[in-house]
Chain A
């Protein structure tokens, strides 16, 4: 059993200026997940008649991208390739102080406590992260041939779960890794060719319009990414953008 000191960001709503609140929580077992530890805290807060700490979570198995906290200054905590829900309390020591903050970015305004509004990502996707497909029956499985290296590359990019850790960890609050992964995934596949040029223009423009920062190739995004998406995707995005410019694609 562990006892931890938690310093958690509390904020009533998006207008509230917010503050840190300190809680001492005991009864934590090493095999609890980080979110289960927060559940334990919330049960106690509710019993005391206080407002529970709000945070996002859904699948709790690292695939949905809902959860995400900055734990002691690191997005999803110190473990690599891990979402907050899959971070276990065995990585902490009895008596530790843990500072828990929400993702911080202008484009991700805090809604309450540790919940942020990540619809900026949805708008980037809506701007161009789709393919035009004919309606009608499914095409034959072997009608469109895709080589293994291309399929692997697209899959690697497609593993992005849109959690926003890349933005949270980036010293510039840039959404380049997210946007680049979505662009790269479609750019290498035959189904993505129709909108190839206009996709990169539109998604990059939307990314900028949301107020994310510039990519300066620091690479903190890659370190924070629970899916370990490579910054090679960012080079691909730049290359796609340059190619679209040179081809004179419609924007």
Chain B
């Protein structure tokens, strides 16, 4: 497979992940509530899909893995493309998307991977009904995920970890969003700058939206 084809896969999986992140935030907005009811109801609703949810989860893992594997192999190719580096290297700047975000996608991506593993381990596979995190939904027993979240974010160290991770999400998406369109050949002269601006705003909105959840919970509960 050529580097161009690999970047198509990176772009499409990346955009799919952006879609997931947007959906994830929309659901998580229920955490900006002074009660546990909206969020637990949202989680309950998701789990009521049963095997459909499992299919979605497996699909999501597949998209994540694709993006990670192709990203790392692309990085490996690029590292081997310059076996001996420069003693001095300086950005020439200008009207280009060269910035801290675009030049460190592998680093921000790796940090996000570590974060996702931690996050899934903490909440998806964290203590559930059996461990006493239980509430009642429509007369049924349901997992009290909200309590687990509140307990986690009463610890300022976890708040700091999540806030830092979301800053890296913003850094990754600032370049990643428009770059996906460019890699897929979907940009034109007059759309490039607009896409870059929109990508920056989207990254900022997602970062801010996620970042204040742990902060809000720390102070509100």
Q: Hey, which bits of chain A sit against chain B, CB under 8 A?
A: 7, 20, 70, 72-75, 78, 80, 99, 101, 104-107, 169, 171-174, 201, 204-205, 207-208, 211-220, 222-224, 230-232, 234-242, 245
Pairwise interchain contact B80-A224, C-beta atoms closer than 8 A? no
Q: Does B66 contact A (CB under 8 A)?
A: no
Q: Does B8 contact A (CB under 8 A)?
A: yes
CA distance A238 to B75 in the complex (A): 19
Pairwise interchain contact A232-B192, C-beta atoms closer than 8 A? yes
Pairwise interchain contact A218-B186, C-beta atoms closer than 8 A? no
Q: What is the interface of chain A mostly: helix, strand, loop, or mixed? A: mixed
Pairwise interchain contact A241-B86, C-beta atoms closer than 8 A? no
Pairwise interchain contact B8-A242, C-beta atoms closer than 8 A? yes
Residues of A contacting B84 in the complex (Cβ-Cβ under 8 angstroms): 104
Residues of A contacting B124 in the complex (Cβ-Cβ under 8 angstroms): none
Residues of A contacting B49 in the complex (Cβ-Cβ under 8 angstroms): none
Pairwise interchain contact A214-B6, C-beta atoms closer than 8 A? yes
- A-B Cβ contacts below 8 A, count: 147
Pairwise interchain contact A223-B3, C-beta atoms closer than 8 A? no
Pairwise interchain contact B185-A235, C-beta atoms closer than 8 A? yes
Pairwise interchain contact B103-A72, C-beta atoms closer than 8 A? no
Residues of A contacting B2 in the complex (Cβ-Cβ under 8 angstroms): 201, 204-205, 208, 241
Q: Which of B28-36, B91-99, B113-121, B204-212 contacts A (4 or more CB under 8 A)?
A: B91-99
CA distance A171 to B98 in the complex (A): 10
Pairwise interchain contact A211-B89, C-beta atoms closer than 8 A? no
Cβ-closest 5 pairs across A and B? A219-B96, A238-B185, A239-B185, A213-B78, A213-B81
With A74-B92, A218-B102, A219-B97 known as contacts, the answer to whether A106 contacts B182 (CB < 8 A) is: no
Q: Does B138 contact A (CB under 8 A)?
A: no
With A106-B81, A204-B2, A220-B96 known as contacts, the answer to whether A215 contacts B183 (CB < 8 A) is: yes
Pairwise interchain contact B86-A101, C-beta atoms closer than 8 A? yes
Interface range for B = 35 or more
23 contacts between A and B (CB under 8 A): A72-B88, A73-B86, A80-B94, A101-B88, A105-B82, A172-B82, A173-B81, A201-B2, A208-B3, A211-B80, A213-B78, A214-B78, A215-B183, A217-B97, A217-B102, A218-B97, A219-B96, A223-B91, A223-B93, A223-B94, A232-B187, A235-B188, A239-B186
Residues of A contacting B103 in the complex (Cβ-Cβ under 8 angstroms): 171, 218
Quick one: which of A169, A215, A235, A242 has the most chain B CB within 10 A? A235
Q: Hey, which bits of chain B sit against chain A, CB under 8 A?
A: 2-8, 74-75, 77-98, 102-103, 105, 175, 178-179, 182-189, 192
Contact of A235 among B93, B97, B187 (CB under 8 A): B187
Residues of A contacting B92 in the complex (Cβ-Cβ under 8 angstroms): 74-75, 78, 80, 169, 220, 223-224
Residues of A contacting B74 in the complex (Cβ-Cβ under 8 angstroms): 214, 216
* A147 shortest CB reach to chain B, Å: 16
CA distance A232 to B181 in the complex (A): 11
Pairwise interchain contact B175-A173, C-beta atoms closer than 8 A? no
Contact of A215 among B3, B178, B184 (CB under 8 A): B3
Residues of B contacting A208 in the complex (Cβ-Cβ under 8 angstroms): 2-3
Pairwise interchain contact A235-B96, C-beta atoms closer than 8 A? no
* B142 shortest CB reach to chain A, Å: 44
Contact of A99 among B87, B179, B183, B186 (CB under 8 A): B87
CA distance A236 to B4 in the complex (A): 12
Pairwise interchain contact A99-B88, C-beta atoms closer than 8 A? yes
Residues of A contacting B105 in the complex (Cβ-Cβ under 8 angstroms): 216
Residues of B contacting A245 in the complex (Cβ-Cβ under 8 angstroms): 5
Pairwise interchain contact A242-B184, C-beta atoms closer than 8 A? yes
With A80-B94, A217-B97 known as contacts, the answer to whether A172 contacts B81 (CB < 8 A) is: yes
Residues of B contacting A232 in the complex (Cβ-Cβ under 8 angstroms): 187-189, 192
Residue of B nearest to A169 (CB): B92
* B165 shortest CB reach to chain A, Å: 22
